[in-house]
Amino acid sequence: MTTLSRLLAIMIALAATGAITLTAPAAIASSPAGAATRTGCGRPAPGRVATLVTADNGRTICAHRGQRITVALRVDPTEGTVPEQWWQAVTLTGTGLAALPETAMPVRGTTLAHYQVTGRGTATLSSTRRPCAPPANGGVTCQLMQAWSVRVTVR
């Protein structure tokens, strides 16, 4: 069984117990205003910023040279009370994007990242987090990892 298969099996088991909620792709389309454009690769206005949030997990977006992409991954403060439960730094793989320096201090439980679209290519932005709090001394540990990724196609 692959790691992805094991993770999926754990997530389904946790969803069945009500410990977590799984969101179907159709529900993602109704994410809050300000989320990235989810339709075709039309020409955006110059200088437009695409904002990606936790609900954009699994999406593919289109971007154009000169555009900026902001990632804001937030953890519910009542569920993610310790830094070990927060999203890790966003990683960039592929071509077409360049990471910009982080110039703002994020709010507690928020992971921020900023990118400049530099040219044609395909890139993936990704992060992971541990939804379970660290165990008390001698307690049972939770090995669950939650993954987030968005594919960016640069035209």
Is residue 40 included in any domain, yes or no? yes
pLDDT beyond 80 at 18: no
Is residue 16 included in any domain, yes or no? no
- Per-residue confidence (pLDDT) for residue 43, from 0 to 100: 59
- Per-residue confidence (pLDDT) for residue 2, from 0 to 100: 53
The mean pLDDT of the chain is 78
pLDDT beyond 50 at 48: yes
Is residue 9 included in any domain, yes or no? no
Is residue 11 included in any domain, yes or no? no
Is residue 51 included in any domain, yes or no? yes
- Per-residue confidence (pLDDT) for residue 6, from 0 to 100: 53
Q: How many domains does the chain have?
A: 1
Mean pLDDT of 93-102: 96
- Per-residue confidence (pLDDT) for residue 125, from 0 to 100: 98
pLDDT beyond 70 at 25: no
Structure tokens at 135: 């165990």
- Per-residue confidence (pLDDT) for residue 36, from 0 to 100: 47
For the domain that residue 74 is a member of, what is the CATH number? 2.60.40
Structure tokens at 35: 């989320």
Mean pLDDT of 90-110: 93
10 Å CB burial of residue 149 (0-12, 13-18, 19+) is: middle
Closest CA to 124 of 111, 115, 132: 115
pLDDT beyond 80 at 3: no
- Per-residue confidence (pLDDT) for residue 50, from 0 to 100: 92
Is residue 22 included in any domain, yes or no? no
Backbone angles phi, psi at 35, to 5 degrees: -70, 160
- Which residue would you say has higher pLDDT here, 66 or 38? 66
- Per-residue confidence (pLDDT) for residue 41, from 0 to 100: 62
- Which residue would you say has higher pLDDT here, 37 or 129? 129
- Per-residue confidence (pLDDT) for residue 108, from 0 to 100: 87
Task: Residue 146: give the domain boundaries.
Answer: 27-154
